[in-house]
């Protein structure tokens, strides 16, 4: 699976590799038959990813008791799901349907007002945010003895040079935060995050309007060379 992600193998090539390994190794063997079976084997060891539907205009996230069951944004009124030429909410789409008299198009019901919907009536959201819960990753980090010790590096092993800013801990904001929350500052293993974001085009095409804005959490406890 690591090689597949590193070298960009397709699912079909990975399935052929699994078949080849199963044929080469002595029988009986437990080589997974395809990509799906391989994912089922490693799924207990993976860290969870939550996919949260979002407003296309970046107003809200459809989660929680307030917004979790909504299908339209309460702020801008935009539908959460994709639509096609037949099913649209604006008046312009209804006027187009009137002109197309030759096509027999069923009138959309209240439950079937948005697309993409496939044969099984599955709705596809317009925008999805992938959330990687940091708690699961912190648990694995502290479970490792070596990485657990490094969480105190900034306090115990960091070389301090007076008059120079060699680490964020030397800055005034860090010290001001410690003064505001002394209980948190007294325990060096408490995790200190830095939140940052930037846009990028994952496809590397200049003429593409698609962009991805990754929100990254950086841990200041760890050494700078990691």
Peptide bond into 116 cis (omega under 30): yes
pLDDT beneath 50, residues of the chain: 86-87, 90-99, 101-117, 119-120
The answer to whether residue 16 is domain-embedded is: yes
CA dist., res. 169 & res. 41, Å (int): 42
Pair 186, 165 in one domain: yes
CA dist., res. 116 & res. 100, Å (int): 21
Pair 158, 95 in one domain: no
The answer to whether residue 61 is domain-embedded is: no
The domain in which residue 140 lies consists of 133-219
Instruction: Output the pLDDT for position 16.
Output: 92
Instruction: Output the pLDDT for position 124.
Output: 84
3-state helix, strand, coil in the chain (%, to 5): 35, 15, 50
Number of folded domains in the chain? 3
Record the pTM.
0.54
Instruction: Output the pLDDT for position 59.
Output: 87
The answer to whether residue 55 is domain-embedded is: no
Pair 215, 137 in one domain: yes
CA dist., res. 63 & res. 69, Å (int): 8
Pair 159, 192 in one domain: yes
The answer to whether residue 138 is domain-embedded is: yes
Give residue 112's Cα distance to chain centre: 28
Which residue, 214, 47, 215, 216, is CA-closest to 133? 47
């Amino acid at each position: 699976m690591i090689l597949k992600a590193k070298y960009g193998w397709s699912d079909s090539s990975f399935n052929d590799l699994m078949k080849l390994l199963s044929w080469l190794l002595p029988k009986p063997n437990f080589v997974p038959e395809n990509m799906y079976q391989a994912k089922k084997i490693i799924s207990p060891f993976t860290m969870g990813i939550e996919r949260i539907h979002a407003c296309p205009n970046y107003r809200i996230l459809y989660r929680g008791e307030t917004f979790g069951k909504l299908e339209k944004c309460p702020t801008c009124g935009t539908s959460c799901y994709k639509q096609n030429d037949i099913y649209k909410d604006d008046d312009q789409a209804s006027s187009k349907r009137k002109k197309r008299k030759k096509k027999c198009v069923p009138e959309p019901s209240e439950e079937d007002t948005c697309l993409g919907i496939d044969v099984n009536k599955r709705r596809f959201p317009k925008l999805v945010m992938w959330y990687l819960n940091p708690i699961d990753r912190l648990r694995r980090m502290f479970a490792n003895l070596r990485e657990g010790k490094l969480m105190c590096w900034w306090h115990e092993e960091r070389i301090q040079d007076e008059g120079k800013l060699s680490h964020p801990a030397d800055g005034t904001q860090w010290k001001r935060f410690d003064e505001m929350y002394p209980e948190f500052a007294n325990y060096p293993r408490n995790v200190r995050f830095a939140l940052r974001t930037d846009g990028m085009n994952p496809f590397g095409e200049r003429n593409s309007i698609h962009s991805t804005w990754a929100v990254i959490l950086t841990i200041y406890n760890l050494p700078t060379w990691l």
